[in-house]
């Protein structure tokens, strides 16, 4: 993509002196550059995100080095890494008299939720995409139905599933009762909490994985399917050996989006558990961060957790964006 | 991709192959799985709370006919509207401006970073895209500090509260609108850029040759092309013949006289096969009222096309070459 672009640029700049209408142009001043001429369009949005996204991230990093706690305003004169030491090893920080527990529990829950949610989501999405791709009738209807949950917000999903998981009237327990398993407390059960959250999120987002995979499947030439058929491959073997390996880019892009969604699952937990207290078995980094900052007033410690969360998101997204850039698909 | 209907030696059921029957069974079952939480919620919301038993939450209220399902009532909805009315109003106040600003600014940013090509734009664009993936918790504390302690928005709204329809708490909504616009910008930019990449260069090139300014191109070409493209990229209507000549000569166009003539580079990549049609030859770009894409992407996801970063649009013919 870049090569024809640079060639064209060079060609255009060579002919700059004499224009088509016979006139000439002066040598480009800085105001004539395309970047400057198009600046009225991209600069205001860029300044907005520069201030509210990147400025806020930088400020957050600085805040995480302070001892900001409780009411008042942060003191930027004494910066240290104490909050990170507390976050990783626990202990009693200088700004508090209480012992603060490390983040390992919520970090572990975050990773478990992230991995289980995205892997199951992808697998379900792939199966659905293959089924929908069988030249079925009413394909649009099925696709729309599968994608419908994604149009709901986290809050709505949480309330629906809170209702579904209800011990007495929930559909899940009615179903379990029909197959002979007694009513199970799900939402407040420490063993099932995280699974329940992951399941509801899978319900919401597997349609997205399906759409991404369906686009990937449609991009594979029909000849690949036909060649595998002619060679006598069974359907299972054809998909496993020929088709699924070609869905690598679709997998990666869906995986990145889903993983970052699960990092953002705070809204879901907040509405499902009605506040910052989902309990230790469903506590993820996002809920821990908001609880520390807004419930306990440990602003600086909350910022430190936020930085860790940000670095996790960055670690997932950077390789993806870089590979997209290298492939010229950005 | 593989239709097995009627293959010799397969099990069949009512004339359909068993394979297809099972396939449709699974698809319908998954459809039920995706719909039933929503359906249950809606059904329960129209049951009279007094008659609610909870034994059949998924059934509509059919009390006289089916016992245990409750009687029909809009009472829960009345209660919800009474309780959430203020929230609904606030939602509208927040959502409408935030969406408009995000879309407008996102479209402008995508235009400045896509249709006009310059060095280093990809670096700026990467900063936009990365913004999609930032967890909100990573910026919450600074944003709280910013809106409560740095910007005196609350103090601005205190005197304004005497005006009709303005309450003092609206300063929070204004702060949310601005913040939300900033956080909606990255995804809007991504979506608009995906569309602008599909637009043909010919029209833009012709306008540039005529000396149209950047703003003219945005207003006269991009905004018009967008209206159709952003809805759907598959066109069934055929464009007018390519031999149509515009009655107005391009040299007499107002843009020509208005702006300083200069040729600048377009991000042209012939391999991508961008095909938008206007019905007019490219040099008649000023006559174009609306144009539409002809590259048919097989799938348009309602959440937009994050996956369009991986699936390149293929094919399409250049209308002016044949």
DSSP A9-33: HHHHHHTTSB-TTS-B-PPPPGGGS
Work out the pLDDT band at A274, boundaries 50, 70, 90. Answer: confident
Residues 6+ apart with CB under 8 A from B132: B186, B187, B190
Torsion, Cα B217 B223 B228 B234, to 10 degrees, reads 40
Q: Give percent helix, percent strand, percent coil of chain A, each to the nearest 5.
A: 70, 0, 30
Q: What is the pLDDT of residue B122?
A: 87
Domains and CATH numbers, chain A: 105-297 (1.10.3720.10)
Separation of CA B18 from chain center: 40
Work out the pLDDT band at B236, boundaries 50, 70, 90. Answer: very low
Asked if the model's pLDDT at residue B240 lies above 70, the reply is: no
pLDDT in tens, A124-165: 999 999 999 888 888 899 999 999 999 998 899 999 999 889
pLDDT in tens, A285-295: 999 999 999 98
Interface predicted TM-score of the whole assembly (ipTM), two decimals: 0.81
Asked if the model's pLDDT at residue A94 lies above 50, the reply is: yes
Q: What is the pLDDT of residue A118?
A: 94
Distance CA A13, CA A10 (A): 5
Q: What is the pLDDT of residue A8?
A: 53
> Average of pLDDT values for B292-307?
38
Average pLDDT of chain A, as a whole number:
86
- Is the minimum CB–CB distance between A3 and chain B shorter than 8 Å? no
SS3 A209: helix
Q: What is the pLDDT of residue B143?
A: 92
pLDDT in tens, B88-118: 999 999 999 999 999 999 999 988 888 777 8
Chain B stretch 39-68, residues whose beta carbon is closer than 8 A to a beta carbon of chain A: 40-41, 44, 54-55, 57-58
Q: What is the pLDDT of residue B291?
A: 54
Question: Which of B35, B105, B137 lies at the smallest CB-CB distance from A306?
Answer: B137
> Average of pLDDT values for A3-31?
54
B279: closest CA of chain A, how far (Å): 25
Distance CA A129, CA A214 (A): 5
Chain A stretch 269-328, residues whose beta carbon is closer than 8 A to a beta carbon of chain B: 285-286, 289-290, 293-294, 299, 302-303, 305-307, 309-310, 313, 316-317, 321, 324-325
């Amino acid at each position: 993509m870049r090569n024809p672009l640079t060639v064209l640029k060079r060609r255009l700049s060579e002919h700059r002196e004499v224009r088509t209408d016979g006139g000439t142009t002066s040598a480009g001043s800085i105001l004539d550059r395309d970047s400057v001429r198009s600046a009225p369009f991209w600069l205001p949005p860029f300044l907005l995100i520069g201030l509210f996204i990147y400025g806020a991230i930088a400020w957050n990093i600085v805040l995480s080095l302070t001892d900001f706690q409780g009411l008042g305003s942060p003191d930027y004169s004494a910066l240290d890494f104490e909050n990170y030491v507390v976050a990783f090893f626990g202990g009693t920080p200088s700004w508090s008299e209480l012992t603060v527990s490390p983040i390992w529990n919520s970090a572990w829950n975050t990773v478990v939720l992230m991995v289980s949610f995205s892997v199951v989501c992808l697998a379900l999405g792939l199966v659905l995409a293959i089924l929908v791709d069988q030249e079925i009738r009413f394909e649009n209807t099925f696709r729309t139905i599968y994608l419908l949950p994604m149009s709901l917000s986290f809050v709505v999903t949480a309330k629906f599933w809170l209702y579904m998981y209800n011990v007495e009237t929930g559909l899940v327990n009615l179903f379990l009762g029909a197959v002979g398993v007694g009513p199970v407390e799900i939402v407040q059960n420490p063993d099932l909490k995280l699974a329940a959250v992951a399941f509801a999120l899978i319900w919401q987002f597997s349609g997205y994985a399906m759409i991404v995979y369906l686009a990937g499947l449609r991009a594979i030439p029909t000849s690949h399917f036909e060649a595998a058929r002619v060679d006598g491959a069974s359907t299972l073997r054809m998909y496993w050996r020929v088709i699924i390996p070609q869905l690598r880019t679709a997998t990666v892009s869906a995986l990145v989006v889903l993983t970052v969604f699960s990092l953002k699952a705070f809204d879901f937990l907040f509405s499902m558990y009605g506040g910052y207290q989902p309990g230790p078995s469903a506590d993820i980094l996002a809920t821990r961060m908001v609880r520390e900052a807004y419930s306990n007033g440990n602003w600086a410690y909350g910022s430190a957790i936020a930085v860790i969360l940000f670095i996790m998101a960055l670690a997932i997204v950077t390789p993806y964006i870089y590979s997209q850039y290298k492939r010229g698909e950005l | 991709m593989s239709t097995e209907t009627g293959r010799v030696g397969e099990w069949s059921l009512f004339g359909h192959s068993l394979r297809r029957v099972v396939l449709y069974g699974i698809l319908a079952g998954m459809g039920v799985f995706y719909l039933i939480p929503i359906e249950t919620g809606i059904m329960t919301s129209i049951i009279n709370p007094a008659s609610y038993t909870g034994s059949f939450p998924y059934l509509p209220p059919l009390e006289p006919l089916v016992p245990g399902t409750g009687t029909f009532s809009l009472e829960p909805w009345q209660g919800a509207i009474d309780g959430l009315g203020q929230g609904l109003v606030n939602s509208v106040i927040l959502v409408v401006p935030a969406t408009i600003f995000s879309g407008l600014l996102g479209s402008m940013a995508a235009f400045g970073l896509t249709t006009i090509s310059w060095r280093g734009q990809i670096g700026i664009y990467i900063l936009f895209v990365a913004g999609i993936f930032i967890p909100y918790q990573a910026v919450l504390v600074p944003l709280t500090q910013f809106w409560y302690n740095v910007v005196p928005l609350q103090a601005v709204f205190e005197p304004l509260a005497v005006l009709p329809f303005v309450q003092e708490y609206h300063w929070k909504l204004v702060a949310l609108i601005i913040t939300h616009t900033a956080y909606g910008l990255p995804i809007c930019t991504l979506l608009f850029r995906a569309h602008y990449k599909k637009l043909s260069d010919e029209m833009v090139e012709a306008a540039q040759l005529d000396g149209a300014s950047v703003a003219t191109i945005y207003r006269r070409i991009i905004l018009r092309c967008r209206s159709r493209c952003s809805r759907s990229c598959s066109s069934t209507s055929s464009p007018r013949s390519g031999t149509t000549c515009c009655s107005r000569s391009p040299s007499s166009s107002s843009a020509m006289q208005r702006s300083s003539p200069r040729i600048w580079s377009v991000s042209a990549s012939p391999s991508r096969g961008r095909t938008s049609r206007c019905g007019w030859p490219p040099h008649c770009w000023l006559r174009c009222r609306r144009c539409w894409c002809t590259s048919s992407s097989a799938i348009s996801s309602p959440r937009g096309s994050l996956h369009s970063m991986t699936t390149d649009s293929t094919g399409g013919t250049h209308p002016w070459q044949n």
